[in-house]
Amino acid sequence: MIRDYKQEVENRIAWIKQTLAEAKASGIVFASSGGKDAVLVGALCKMACDNTLGVILPCDSLRNLEEDKEDALLFAELFDIDHIEADLTPVKQAMIAALPFELNTHTNTNINPRLRMAAVYAASAARGGALVAGTSNRSETYMGYFTKWGDGVCDFNPIADLTVTEINEFLRYLGVPEVFYTKAPSAGLYPGQTDEEDMGVTYAEIDRYLLYGEVGSNFHKIERAHTANVHKHLPIRRYEGDFNAEN
């Protein structure tokens, strides 16, 4: 567990500034969902770079259009972060209508984060090549609980090493209102959806395993999910022209 959050803030701000300098970029864009991860990323990025933009992207979900959007707007106001909004629902509907096949629930919901990824990178390009900040935490990344080429895509991620437990403590240190980290974590993919219900294990259990090596009753669920989703972390395989089929 992190103990010196003051030093952590300073370290992460310095790292973000260095990342921008190395990329010769002068701005940051991030998907602003109103959730704890996006709030911490947005706050850190704003402290490192005044030219930070939150992009609020509701898509085909009542929670996205109501609670998440309201929280994202509140966060933007509290931290004085520039923001824009774009409802991607009609874009998704047009895409589904254009596809000549039926989609199952899993495939349907994965469209949302992939559309958001495309929109955030469009916003990045529109702002002269601003870098895209990722918002995935260590807990969900270990479980593989993210969409390949969706919310797993970014240019840099200032919270990649933090578990959900640590993120909550970080937000308390920063004085962020509890509304942002006490609500049930959810991507708002469908009515009543929560991360923990989807995974079949709580973030507290995942974090106790990652932070302390505690092996609880759901240890096998955690490792099974991690193993099944290893492919999401692998780089693209590229044929180099030297493969020998006889070996």
**pLDDT at residue 193, as a whole number:** 76
**What letter would DSSP give residue 101?**
S
Sequence ranges of the domains in the chain: 5-233
In this structure, CATH architecture of domain 5-233: 3-Layer(aba) Sandwich (3.40)
**Is residue 57 within 8 Å of residue 112, measured between CB atoms?**
no
Torsion of CA 15, 16, 19, 24, to 10 degrees: -140
State the amino acid at position 97 in one-letter form: A
Q: What is the mean pLDDT of residues 224-229?
A: 96
Give the H or E element holding residue 21: helix 5-23
| Distance of alpha carbon 138 from alpha carbon 140, whole angstroms | 6
Sheet architecture: strand order including 52-56: 82-85, 52-56, 28-31, 131-132
pTM for the model stands at 0.93
Q: What is the mean pLDDT of residues 86-113?
A: 95
Give the H or E element holding residue 108: helix 105-126
Give the H or E element holding residue 53: strand 52-56
Q: What is the mean pLDDT of residues 114-124?
A: 97
**pLDDT at residue 191, as a whole number:** 66
Q: What is the mean pLDDT of residues 23-45?
A: 96
pLDDT in tens, 78-96: 999 999 999 999 999 999 9
